[in-house]
């Protein structure tokens, strides 16, 4: 199975979701094929460190 490519438009949503303690599994479910390592790369500042978090999550993002 191929990993989904991380794109800059995903990063703000990933950052906000993690700030809200949304699990990696929910994020990768929203972006099918995106592995946990890419999410971790964003959160550790290894990928797209200069992109800020989103102001709000998309309306179709999974909610608790």
For residue 1, the model assigns a pLDDT of: 58
pLDDT band at 63 (very low <50, low <70, confident <90, very high): confident
pLDDT band at 3 (very low <50, low <70, confident <90, very high): confident
CB 61 within 8 A of CB 14: no
pLDDT > 90? residue 6: yes
CA 57 – CA 37 distance, rounded (Å) = 21
List the structure tokens of 6: 């991380």
List the structure tokens of 30: 């929203």
Average pLDDT over residues 6-22: 97
CA 34 – CA 56 distance, rounded (Å) = 20
CB-based contacts of 37: which residues, under 8 Å, 6+ apart?
Answer: none
pLDDT band at 58 (very low <50, low <70, confident <90, very high): very high
């Amino acid at each position: 199975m191929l990993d989904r490519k991380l794109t800059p438009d995903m990063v703000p949503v990933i950052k906000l979701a993690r700030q809200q303690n949304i699990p990696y599994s929910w994020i990768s479910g929203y972006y099918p094929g995106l592995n946990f390592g890419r999410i971790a790369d964003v959160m550790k500042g290894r990928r797209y460190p200069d992109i800020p978090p989103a102001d709000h999550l998309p309306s179709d993002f999974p909610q608790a």
